[in-house]
Amino acid sequence: MNLFDVYPINDIAITKASGSRVWDDKGQEYLDLYGGHAVISIGHTHPHWVKRIEEQLEKIAFYSNSVRIPLQTELAEKLGKISGKDDYQLFLCNSGAEANENALKLASFHNGRKKVVAFNKAFHGRTSLAVAVTDNKNYVAPVNETDNVTFLPFNDEAALEAHFAANGNEISSVIIEGIQGVGGINVATESFLQKIRSLCDQYGAVYIADSVQCGYGRTGKFFSHDYAGVNADIYSMAKGIGNGFPLAAIIVAPHIKPKHFQLGTTFGGNHVACAAALAVLEVMEKEQLINNAHETGDYLAGELKKIGDIENVRGRGLMIGFDVPDAIKDLKKNLLWKHKIFTGEAKPNAIRLLPSLALTKADADIFLEAVKQEITALKG
């Protein structure tokens, strides 16, 4: 049997990793500024995370959600404390798409409405409703097509206001990434997020903050929406929550009360996933990684801004994007193949950095030096 031909993007077999380094099957080392697409939060194979998972595996790996799983309660308490959302309710699932699917569904159960507002260039996942609010027609199969979703321009308060004025009483939810990831690292303005909050309040719509990529401390605050001082009604999370162990979540404001059987999952919140997630939060706290994301991110973005040939350095914390003009269009490829540094891309011509939140200044410097060298080489 062959693998289904949608991956891989790079012909490299990664077989080992530690911190911000990965190795291929031939022993070649790489610096990882992509974090496996924002998944690696505390660093690859962090010893505390490995130990927590190993110890859990020896006790119990799984039992269904038909029983109480004390690790889930422990996780809810710790997440509430670190995120500042003590009074929210936690539902655990398995992927970002599933988290968004549940968020949109729960909003609709809550207010009984069908219409959803999403934004141009949004990415929310590949399952039926998540892909329907994703602004890329290539991902939407005929079976996923729906009239219930309207895409509005990102950061356009007038368009949002006009749409609510005409349709407000039918809108179930607004779903937004505080910083669009796949769409190219586009930061929502604080006033745009505040406008969403006030319109949702006025019309009884649910504010869903897709924090799968921009959440969990990556931007230097727990949620990127914290910069705007707004509370979303539902936050979806995945990626960094397990540091590579599959796990996702939504947290739900107290005024939204789920009823039994509205949401459900077999694997969500299993014992090992919870142990992994607790280990992540313990390390984030002990090593002050949100603070590191802030400081190292500011440093890295600040130094990138000093490099004349790249453009439009943007983002927050360790979620950084910059444009690569045509004259140096091979920068990303050459960083990988010549300098052995993984970065991410944002089409058509941008580079995305999503490293571990434990990235050191020394590793940031290695990257910066490689970028400078390569730009000189490319410009000949």
With CB atoms as reference, the residue minimizing the distance to ligand PMP is 96
The helix, strand and coil proportions of the chain, stated in percent and rounded to the nearest 5, come to 40, 20, 40
Q: Is 125 in the site for ligand PMP (CB under 6 A)?
A: yes
Q: What is the DSSP letter of 4?
A: P
- The Cα–Cα gap between 14 and 285 comes to 29
Contacts of 87 (CB under 8 A, 6+ apart): 80, 253, 254
Q: Is 95 in the site for ligand PMP (CB under 6 A)?
A: yes
Q: Is 124 in the site for ligand PMP (CB under 6 A)?
A: yes
Among 76, 97, 234, 247, binds ligand PMP (CB under 6 A): 97
Q: Give the three-class secondary structure for 224.
A: helix
Q: Is 213 in the site for ligand PMP (CB under 6 A)?
A: yes
Tell me which stretch binds ligand PMP (CB under 6 A): 60-68, 96-104, 139-147, 297-305: 96-104
Nearest distance in Å: CB 291, ligand PMP: 23
AA identity, residue 139: Y
Task: Mark residues 223-262: x for contact with ligand PMP by CB under 6 A, - for none.
Answer: ---------------x------------------------
Q: Is 210 in the site for ligand PMP (CB under 6 A)?
A: yes
Q: Which is nearer to ligand PMP, 97 or 152 (CB)?
A: 97
Instruction: Specify whether the CB–CB gap between 94 and 268 falls below 8 A.
Output: yes
Q: Is 342 in the site for ligand PMP (CB under 6 A)?
A: no
- For residue 278, give the H/E element and its range: helix 271-286
Q: Which is nearer to ligand PMP, 213 or 343 (CB)?
A: 213
Q: Is 123 in the site for ligand PMP (CB under 6 A)?
A: yes
- For residue 237, give the H/E element and its range: strand 234-237
Tell me which stretch binds ligand PMP (CB under 6 A): 77-85, 106-114, 121-129, 193-201: 121-129
Nearest residue to 135 via CA among 148, 160, 152? 152
Cα torsion through 246, 250, 251, 254, rounded to 10:
-150
Residues that bind ligand PMP (CB under 6 A): 95-97, 100, 123-125, 177, 181-182, 210, 212-213, 238
